[in-house]
Chain A
Amino acid sequence: MTLAFTICSINYLAQARTLGDSLRQTNPDWKYVIGLVDKLDAAALPPELIPAYPMLEVDRIEIEDFAGMCDRYDITELNTAVKPFYIDYFFRNEPEAAEVIYFDPDIIVYQPLTRLKNHLGEYNLVLTPHICRPIDDGLIPNELNHLNTGTYNLGFIGLRKSEESNRFVQWWKKRLVHECRIDLCNGLFVDQHWVNFAPIYYDRVWIEKHPGYNAAYWNLHERTFSEKDGRWVVNDSYDLQFFHYSGYGVHKPEEVSKYQNRYTFPDRPDIVPLFRLYHQRLIDNLNETYRRYPCYYIKPPKVLYYQSVRKALKSPLNKLISAFENR
């Protein structure tokens, strides 16, 4: 059995349901679980908002230092940090699952993923690089952005249950307990940057360059889309496997993604129908209702009082630091 899962809070359940619907349609024999970084008790969802897919709340997966992680991380960091913990939980508690696949909630699967399943018969991990062709401009995101934040996109990872992939998961988990932060100057970008090490440390990692995988704003420069006989095709010859609508919002339907500035929809008429479809599915899946639920784990923004006192205390220390550095 293949187990696919996503991770989100209640406010993103429209996305998670859309992903689940697409999987049920294209890969009906797969099991799909929504990892929920939220508390159902606290939210008391009315029946019509309960998805048709099993949900697994994050406080049930036996994360050793979960309280500490909640304390240290903001909501983005927490949502990304729990990824390997879910994988580990499935490895331990779903003996039937020979493969575990993670998808970000803002993905639609368009095809039966037989190629992926075949690769996972042979390889321990399947990863998709952000870019398979160079980017010659300095728009966002460019090659340097990818160097800073990770060369593989962790909106997707496929794992075969094996000793080697378990070694990877245990290593990844260990790193994310304390270091799932964004600190580019110190080599950190949530869970994603760490995975640069995966093909080096671990054997049989398949770097998937098929242009139908994880199509998204970061690789539009190397991919064009068209519909042939009801199937979506990339670069005229590859079946679109899954599209990742990262950074797209129903409330800004004119923007491809809030994380990029390379393309507008008028530049790229080929992707317009793919986004229209997504837009409609989110609305049908009650995006408007879900998005109003605040996440249980969100912390009130910290207000730092006594700024002038802090400044007075810091100033001599900073002087000392520069004295050392400019010796």
Chain B
Amino acid sequence: MILFHTVCTIRQLPQALTLGESLQQHHPGEPFTIGLADDPSHLPAGFRCPYPLIHPEILNLTDLNRLSAQYTPAEFSAAVKPLFIRNQWQKGPEAERLVYLDPSVLLYRPLDDLSGRYGGASLLLTPHLLEPPVDRFYPDEKYFQNIGLYSSGFLALRRTAEAGRFLDWWSERVPERAFIRFCDALCTDQIWLALVPGLFDGVEIVKDRSWHVGLWNLHERFQGAGFSPAFFNFKGIVDQEGYLQAQNRSRPGRHPVVRTLLEAYRNRIRPFDRTGEVVLSGIEPAYGRQPFVPPLVGWRRNVVESLRETVRFIETVDVPRKV
């Protein structure tokens, strides 16, 4: 049995339910649970979740208010994510595998390779990039070092002692250190995954190009006709989530195939967005009180970049002293 799991806020529930629908379609009979990184009392009256909705109380966070005060909503979700995953893992051994997927993921076909090609691995990681970018667009490889080379939007664990050790290690570190502070090597729950191939055995780096397609790798995945993703993460395309708000490499809306997928995805989310008169996607997250400041984009970004460049020049240019 595979247990699928996601973690989201109330405003992401329509996406999570869409993910659930695609999981039922391609993995019928496998359970799907949702960890709610939000205040359940903010759910509209009459909302019925077709999947078990795990409330944050179950995590026994003694310092929820403090965590909420120090983080942005995205950092807060990331901070509790490993705890939700570990909670699901500890529920019982019936689930031979546990697969975490971002709420913004949509599955297009069964992940048969979980038990096939990758059946022996304890832990599967999907890298953001599979090949070096050859263009000069933003972001470059250095930025991926800052946010983490492996995306935490997907994680597959097989029930082994090593996978359990990983979950203990990860959930010990992340809750208190889910800040996005590149200079301190911090970036939510994600950057930690860079240490995982060294620290744990049975870690496999998934190089299947159809897995975990997203804004960060559209340029390397949609090459040639007939490419079809096994699962697609719409993070940062249909919402403000993720770390690529300032990217200028891909224009998903202008790519014919991506545009079709995107339109179909939007159409699937829509029916889940309403409960009576209430629009779920309009409910602000309860936790994560720090404001999210989106990065500068477009011409503003360019102006600031060249100003910085000029400042650097003034600081370092060699001007010989008059003799």
Interface residues in A174-207 by Cβ distance below 8 A to B read 175, 179, 184-188, 193-194, 196-197, 199-201, 203, 207
Interface residues in A157-178 by Cβ distance below 8 A to B read 171, 175
Cβ–Cβ contact B198 & A207, under 8 A: yes
Asked whether any CB of chain A lies closer than 8 Å to the CB of B47, the reply is no
Interface of chain B, helix or strand or loop or mixed?
Answer: helix
Asked whether any CB of chain A lies closer than 8 Å to the CB of B127, the reply is yes
Tell me the complex Cα distance, A306–B318, Å.
10
Interface residues in A266-319 by Cβ distance below 8 A to B read 302, 304-306, 310, 313-314, 317-318
Residues of chain B within 8 A (CB-CB) of A200 are 127, 129-130, 149, 205, 207
What mask results when residues 108 to 146 of chain B are scored 1 for a CB within 8 Å of chain A, else 0? 000000000000000000010111100000000111111
Interface residues in B281-323 by Cβ distance below 8 A to A read 296, 300, 303-304, 307-308, 310-311, 314-316, 318-321
Interface of chain A, helix or strand or loop or mixed?
Answer: helix
Closest B residue to A189 by CB, please name it.
Answer: B145
Residues of chain B within 8 A (CB-CB) of A207 are 197-198
What is the minimal beta-carbon distance from B298 to any residue of chain A, in angstroms? 12
Closest B residue to A305 by CB, please name it.
Answer: B321
Cβ–Cβ contact A196 & B185, under 8 A: no
Asked whether any CB of chain B lies closer than 8 Å to the CB of A130, the reply is yes
Cβ–Cβ contact A324 & B308, under 8 A: no
What mask results when residues 146 to 162 of chain A are scored 1 for a CB within 8 Å of chain B, else 0? 11100110000000000
Q: List 30 A-B contacts (CB under 8 A).
A: A131-B198, A145-B185, A147-B195, A171-B132, A175-B141, A179-B142, A184-B183, A184-B185, A187-B141, A187-B143, A187-B145, A188-B142, A188-B145, A196-B194, A197-B149, A200-B149, A200-B207, A201-B132, A203-B207, A209-B201, A302-B318, A305-B319, A317-B307, A317-B311, A320-B307, A321-B304, A321-B307, A321-B311, A324-B307, A325-B296
Residues of A within 8 A of B (CB): 129-134, 143-148, 151-152, 171, 175, 179, 184-188, 193-194, 196-197, 199-201, 203, 207, 209, 302, 304-306, 310, 313-314, 317-318, 320-321, 324-325, 327
The 5 closest A-B pairs by CB, nearest first: A129-B198, A187-B145, A187-B142, A147-B185, A148-B185
